Structure 1
Amino acid sequence: MDAAGHDRVEAGRRTRWSDGASVAAAVADAHRREWAFVLAAAVRVTRDLDLAEECVQDAYAQALAAWSQRGVPAKPGAWLTTVARRRALELLRREATMRRLLPYLLTEQTEPGPGGGGDPAIPDDRLRLIFTCCHPALSVEAQVALTLRLLCGLKTAEVARAFLVGEATMAARITRAKKKIAAAAIPYRVPATDELPARVDAVLTVVHLLFTTGHTAPAGAELIRRDLVERSLELARMLRTLLPDDAGVAGLLALILLTDARRGARTGADGRLVLLSEQDRSRWDRRAIDEGVALVRHALRHRPPGRFALMAAIAAVHAEASAWQDTDWAEIVALYDLLVRLWPSPVVALNRAVAVGFARGPAAGLAALDALAAEPQLAGYAYAASSRGAFLARLGRVAEARAAYEEAVLLTENAVERAYLAARLHHLPPVAQDEPSW
């Protein structure tokens, strides 16, 4: 294409983004795709996480106005990076700002330090930043929350949902983590090769939560946030390249592949949610399943198996069943028994209870759910209420099922899931006259 042709294409592209709604969509898309890169560039200038985040947020705010007037640039990430860095330099020139900064918060090494710092084997700036935020001086929860908030671009409310805590609690946790980084003068740099093993588990947790947040978006009109799913898969593959012998990495990549293989069958042509039991399995990605199963076998050779290997093994049982009725629920319960001992999470226990219901009947599943009734983290968890409603409905306890589904609808902010739950509620049979109303 000649220069004139390129200019015509560019002019047409800018025209398409000229209205306010399109510009807002372009800024939102740039936020999903470019946030980590822009933040990394700002941190290198500011040497301060809070100030860097402020500069990046300001750049995105400026984009709304500037792009509405001049069109969306050909490289939105480069535009945002330039604006954020300029804003950072402007603030750094102010003496008051300079005095409050800790000059050693960021240590940019031009030469490898002890242990080979700045390992070039880490192939992507986002992964380097995740490893950096996952510093062992912070608690694992703080590492994960800070990384999801700052480097994955998730809102504080989204991070809070991932941890099943309130937004205010999560905001305070993230603030404390930032203050600890500043007070302890933790260097913001690429970890040395010998420092990587101490950070791997937190990094895997970050990538896993990133995937789960994308797999079923906590809120919004779409069931899936494809950008988060694809980013987590990309990061997991990078980790696999970086640490090919790590069983946890193999297990995480397997889990993502096997779970995401069902993506194309999770919604119907009308956009409605399709449960695993009703999905057209011919629409599953068999290549991803084959790769995932091979990785599961590799991960399970490590003894004892880790949590990601066990979760991937559960996903593999589902993936290898030719039909819903062929699912080996006894094997799934056995795997959950191992997982809940290794990782005693309330959500894991909830998933085990659901598996028990399919393996041993709804009464057994309901009993397992009732045993978790005192878990505070599950009190506001929609899946706990909807699972209870499903078992109660199968047992013919319609009034209780209705109450459980009503609770689940109130707790669900994803429009696709809420529509499904509302439909289940609508199709419940009438309450029998001799059944008590709760």
Structure 2
Amino acid sequence: MMKYNLSEPWLTLDKWQKKVLKTKGNIVMRSGRQVGKSAIISVKCGEFAMNHKDKTIMVIAKVERQSQLLFQKILRYIHVKNKDIIMGGVDRPTKTRIKLYNGSIIYCLPAGDTGYGIMGFTIDLLIADEAAFIPEEVWNSVIPTLAVTKGDIWLLSTPFIKEGYYYNCFNDPTFTSFHQSSEDCQRRDDDFLAHKKATISKAQYAQMYLGLFVDNLKRLYSDELIKKCCILKRKPKEYSRDFFLGVDCARMGENESTFEILDGTHKERIIQIENIITTKTLTTETERKILQLEKQYDFNKIGIDDGGLGVGIFDHLLENSITKRKIVALNNASRDKDKDKDTISLLKEDMYIHLLTLMEKGKIKLLNDDNVKESLRCILAEYPQDHKNKMLIWGKHSHITEGIIRACWLIKKKKLSIEQEAKELVCSGYFGMFFFGVGIIPASQLLF
């Protein structure tokens, strides 16, 4: 197996990467994970910036976190190759800009939902990381920034669904397309790929590791639904509320854990309070973070996946006197029996569908947070073509949604007193009508 220099990947380029480096004009790339697509684009961008005067380059992704990953690789490459070309002092590199002494500037911005913050630029080169996950409205805002310069577009991503600007670029003759499977990568880990192939669906493996567009996939949460629900701003914590915590621990090979805090005081009006992401943390640090949040919010229940790396955290919290009556195992592989039917369904899919129902019925409001929206947008429903197997639900950036669905499931299962149940009916505004003398009075008009 080929050795790979992680700190200086340009020293060990694959043949396909060398071809990308030499290609001129528009480029669209699709690949499996960890094949080196961002590595080669960072090299190509660095060379373009250093060898062309007075050029404006824009690096975008759906969220800031993603765009920063590629941006930092570009900065490192330029620093290693020619650090003296990088301006210093007040013009030194920032999180969003690299200025070079030859007059070229590299910007890094999140695209968000509309691309509004990018519309004022005139650019010579647009680079979009995880382009498949960028909303269509963004392209309508961003592409015109290249009109005057007739600049180039470089798109890189793992595939998503068979629609939209990114997908259409593969049939556009003005783009040179590249496809690279994880199985063809010279640095592949065969044991890792074999494990993934055995534990996830064929469609999921085809999309995430073979870099293929798959027919029987549809988004679970539409843009319209996300826009309708993700409207909240963060606000100070209120007291005497019923808080629930959903945790998704970083899996093997992934860097992020997420902590989703929801106010479930009223089951018909659920409110997301906070979305917290930690990166590259040990399980002991994740455990401490849960205890810290418990001290701050005094949760009704805490939901965690006790499979994989979460099992150690769950076991420790189960032994802790503070959390032992609050911690609940919500393992994606466990099953939940349907009381009305003689069937057993996967709990993971039940939790995802429950969130969908809450969103469609207007019973939950979520944070207007790009990371939350990105996670919801990437969730896919896989419909088996033989119609015999159950629908599967998954997504590349699912960790935030995984935390949200666990907190929502805990709220669904929470027990209420008779008085609380009555108040829930009133607060819902549409659960039944009450008779008083002559006529019918809507429950929403009653006050306790």
Give the TM interval when normalised to the shorter protein: under 0.3
TM-score for both structures, normalised by structure 2: 0.23
Higher strand fraction (1 or 2): 2
Q: Which structure has more RCO (C-alpha within 8 Å, separation ≥ 6)?
A: 2
